[in-house]
Structure 1
Amino acid sequence: MKNITDLSKIKKIYFIGIGGIGMSGLARIMKRNGFDVSGSDLKESAITDTLKKEGIKVFIGHKSKNLEKDCGLAVFTSAVDSSNPEYKEALKNKIPCVRRAELLALISKDKKTVAVAGTHGKTTTTSMLSLAMDFAGADSTNVIGGIFKNINSNFKIGKGEYFVAEADESDGSFLLLNPLVGIITNIDDDHLDFYKNVQSVQRAFFLFAEKIPYYGRLIACFDDPLTAELLNKTKTPFFSYGLGKSAHWRAVNIKKNQEGQSFDVLYKDKKEEKINLKVFGDHNVKNALAAYVSVRYLGFCSKAAAAGLASFGGVKRRMEKIGSFDTVDFYDDYGHHPTEIKNTLAAFRILAGSRKIKVIFQPHRYTRTHLLLKDFGPAFAKADEIFVCDIYSAGEKPIKGISKESIIKEIEKNGKKAYAFSDSYEIARSVKKGDLIVTLGAGDVWKLGYEIKYKLENML
């Protein structure tokens, strides 16, 4: 297979799995850059609709006939295996095939790349950083793994010298990037179907850190134990950040308010700026601090960075308010790993105060549920009622003995009452004044929030 190092002679690019949030962003960038872009996905979605409106041809279903023989490049993700008919057709016709991260590395190679990595918080941090960079006048190109609400998009093409990219560790391909600045938000035991154990996950992040040149900088959270271990081993120049006293850059004087929260930034115990945020939770303080430190390291104005962070309006499916009815508020969040659930619900508890939080949780993947089962139990401590849906398989085969009932048992072992989700009407009938309804999960659970709201509105 040809080794692609230059895109100048390529005219047509085909994306296998174009409806994914990461793939769609790259497809849109390539279209804007003058390439003839097409692709396929298993089902229609809001993303595929947007792609079509932008002039990108989208096929529903993976079929060999979709791929034109004069295609110059096929792009795929780890979800595409060797049995995929389009992948097989590309190989048969000697069309070069690259993973998403390889294309990302190619289009960013002539810019100064700031790569945002970490098991949790990547999308929010990347969005915060891209906004802070814009306020500082960097006009960076940004590729984000979610829809950033300030621009209602997952990408932005800038004219500046910087390229801000979310670096996905799920299949190890983030190691193909060559960052000048690399952020590590945290390291946790996710994607164990690929890594097998948390030590392998940590090793991948260590290799990511080692890719940063001596004239660049690693920016990593010292509050996170596995990341702190990495910092004690790496030879890469780094800045640590966090809430604890040992970090170079610290967030202190965190104060909650009705709109969000504020904190002061200290560098080596000297105050730099006060940051105001419209989002809740200590995890978002750390995300904002990572973005701020990156902007400051690159030499941009502290006040511009603070102003950008104050304007941050959130990311779709990250503590996103989707509506209200009377005194009942509806929120949706992508959280599906126990750590994400714990942090998100802690933030919702601050937001809710004494109001009750009803959670509808959809587990994501049988492998994740199996490997992290016991961690799900304590993750829901801040919720008042929990309804657990069937596992969203994401194409995986069921694992015997692993089901929503498995998670319910773990939650109840930790002193919380949990129920098997059966019907949105049942939840609508149980809603009381002032309740917060939260849908949680990486699958299609978000639809239930809208369903429950609709049924509540139409009840007599």
Structure 2
Amino acid sequence: MIDLSMIKHIHIVGIGGVSNSAIAEILLHQGFKVTGSDLHQSDVTDILVQKGIVVYYVHDAKNISGADLVVYTSAVAEDNPEVAYAVDQNIPCISRAEMLGQIMAGYNKSIAIAGTHGKTTTTSMVTRIFNDTIFDPTALVGGFFNDIKSNVKIGNSDLFITEACEYKENFLSFFPKVGVILNVDEDHLDYFRDLDHIVSAFAKFSNNITEEGILVLNGDDYNSRKIIPYYTGKVLTFGLNDHCDYIAKNIVYNSLGQATFDIFNKEQKLTKVSLIIPGQHNIYNALAAFVVANIYIDDLALITSRLSSFKNANRRFELIGKVGEITIVDDYAHHPNEIKASLEAAARMTDINRIICIFQPHTYSRTKDLLNEFAGAFKNASEVILCDIYAAREVDHGEVSSLDLMKAMIKEKVKVNYYPTFDEVNNYILQNALPNDLIITMGAGDVYKLSHIILESLTKNN
């Protein structure tokens, strides 16, 4: 670990990212001089500049002049001029995950929330429960969360809450007091060899939990249960089945697909929760948040109240607007099981006649590796419109395209169309949307922009 007491100036490469920007704000609050670089100016970088952080919009060796430490992300190439210069000048360089791990180590009560799916929602739930003047946590959320008006909340207590991402085993830099595993699934196969490799990484994460700590784990998830024999500390499981420690029972859904359920600890009923976000997957997220909160909070009424009034982070089944009887929602789902969960939630909404899903695949590697799984994930959609693959950190080598996914979906008897531009998708919606349609834009790229374009166009035409 880096001795931060000897560090005055920290430079962050890729400072506009969700996690890096949060780290920058925490380090600034802790008294460090912080600078950073990013190739794109954004609302995020504008906020950092307003707070007094110098941001450069080009990667250049001269940007790190005077820096004692350089922080970089997994997306930064080894030949990045800033990182290369730092290495040449013997300036210490650490990854974003290592920096976050060091920050976490300064808190006596640290909570790290891992899982292939549901991290941002569950982290937001936990943040909401603890977010008051008494607990006053520091929290990092993987998206904008309206409760804290940001993706980061800087508190003054010894409580620290963060997502723990498994990509490139980044979460192995964390040593939390409470570790959460929501689920374990195939993803990031551009790094992981196979599912066994992924399970192994989560098992290592569990063993990073401090000796006096607790592992909170989805007892209904087959791959998560594989981890239990390899963890020697205290385990608390949650789920819908009786073998779990904390169980959701007597589940009832309303017309919006929102669940009311009782939470039991074994045979003892603890509380009743009524969610205002839809879907069975959010029952699991709420259970995880409840268990984590109950480790530190005895007041079940407080936990219940804050869970029952929880509104999701941005891009998590987010209501963008309604025009007449047409509802527009945006969702971050970019993995087949996330797509299934979101569309199952939509299918429980009894006031909806058709579900039109506009899907933008995220990364070529994920689309190629999980092509058949994607093809079978849209059973609950009345119709799917495919956009081009969002490259993110990858280069298109011509191995897979949205047309390949379209062919696979047709074999699964999915009604599907493909349009390469947002304008074409918008025009199609304008011509074909009907009352009581749910239009849901879906993906981890920039497809969220299309939800706002559609809302504006439908409003003008209404």
Please, what TM-score do these two structures have when normalized by structure 1? Answer: 0.95
Partner of 2:448: 446
Residue 135 of structure 1 contacts residue 308 of structure 1 at CA under 8 Å; is this kept in 2? no
Partner of 2:431: 429
Aligned partner letter, 1:431:
A
From 72, 87, 93, the equivalent of 1:91 is 87
Residue 34 of structure 2 contacts residue 53 of structure 2 at CA under 8 Å; is this kept in 1? yes
Residue 135 of structure 1 contacts residue 304 of structure 1 at CA under 8 Å; is this kept in 2? no
* Correspondences of 1:126-165 after superposition (within 5 Å): 126-134=123-131, 137-165=134-162
Residue 12 of structure 1 contacts residue 35 of structure 1 at CA under 8 Å; is this kept in 2? yes
Segments of 5+ residues of structure 1 without an aligned counterpart are none
Is 1:213 the counterpart of 2:210? The answer is yes
Would the alpha carbon gap of residues 135 and 289 (structure 1) be closer, same or farther in structure 2, given more than 3 Å must change?
farther
Following TM superposition, by how much is the alpha carbon of 1:353 offset from its aligned partner in structure 2, in angstroms? 4.1
Following TM superposition, by how much is the alpha carbon of 1:299 offset from its aligned partner in structure 2, in angstroms? 4.5
Would the alpha carbon gap of residues 28 and 386 (structure 1) be closer, same or farther in structure 2, given more than 3 Å must change?
same
Partner of 2:234: 237
Cα displacement string for residues 162-215 of structure 1 (whole angstroms, at most 9, x for unaligned residues)? 211111111112111111110000001111111121111100000111122332
Residue 148 of structure 1 contacts residue 315 of structure 1 at CA under 8 Å; is this kept in 2? yes
C-alpha separation in 2, matches of 1:340 and 1:145: 16
Partner of 1:110: 106
C-alpha separation in 1, matches of 2:17 and 2:292: 28
Partner of 1:171: 168
From 9, 22, 26, the equivalent of 2:19 is 22
Following TM superposition, by how much is the alpha carbon of 1:113 offset from its aligned partner in structure 2, in angstroms? 1.1
C-alpha separation in 1, matches of 2:134 and 2:180: 21
Partner of 1:7: 4
SS at match of 2:127: helix
Following TM superposition, by how much is the alpha carbon of 1:46 offset from its aligned partner in structure 2, in angstroms? 2.4
Cα displacement string for residues 211-254 of structure 1 (whole angstroms, at most 9, x for unaligned residues)? 22332110000111100121244323201100112111101112
Residue 335 of structure 1 contacts residue 442 of structure 1 at CA under 8 Å; is this kept in 2? yes
* Percentage identity across paired residues of the two chains: 39
C-alpha separation in 2, matches of 1:327 and 1:45: 34
C-alpha separation in 1, matches of 2:298 and 2:213: 15
Partner of 2:54: 57
Would the alpha carbon gap of residues 118 and 136 (structure 1) be closer, same or farther in structure 2, given more than 3 Å must change?
farther
C-alpha separation in 1, matches of 2:112 and 2:375: 33
Q: How many equivalent pairs are there?
A: 456
From 67, 70, 76, the equivalent of 2:72 is 76
Aligned partner letter, 1:208:
F
Partner of 2:349: 351
When the two chains are superposed, the root-mean-square deviation of aligned CA atoms in Å is 1.7
Aligned partner letter, 1:334:
Y
Would the alpha carbon gap of residues 173 and 292 (structure 1) be closer, same or farther in structure 2, given more than 3 Å must change?
same
* Correspondences of 1:398-409 after superposition (within 5 Å): 398-409=396-407
Cα displacement string for residues 5-32 of structure 1 (whole angstroms, at most 9, x for unaligned residues)? x322322211111111111111122222
C-alpha separation in 1, matches of 2:133 and 2:178: 17
SS at match of 2:220: coil
* Correspondences of 1:176-191 after superposition (within 5 Å): 176-191=173-188
C-alpha separation in 2, matches of 1:317 and 1:299: 29
Would the alpha carbon gap of residues 141 and 294 (structure 1) be closer, same or farther in structure 2, given more than 3 Å must change?
same
Partner of 2:312: 314
C-alpha separation in 2, matches of 1:343 and 1:302: 28
Aligned partner letter, 1:309:
L
Following TM superposition, by how much is the alpha carbon of 1:444 offset from its aligned partner in structure 2, in angstroms? 0.6
* Correspondences of 1:265-414 after superposition (within 5 Å): 265-351=263-349, 353-414=351-412
Residue 333 of structure 1 contacts residue 440 of structure 1 at CA under 8 Å; is this kept in 2? yes
Following TM superposition, by how much is the alpha carbon of 1:456 offset from its aligned partner in structure 2, in angstroms? 2.1
Aligned partner letter, 1:355:
N
Following TM superposition, by how much is the alpha carbon of 1:311 offset from its aligned partner in structure 2, in angstroms? 2.5
Say which is worse superposed, 130-139 or 311-320, in terms of deviation: 130-139
Aligned partner letter, 1:166:
E
Aligned partner letter, 1:74:
V
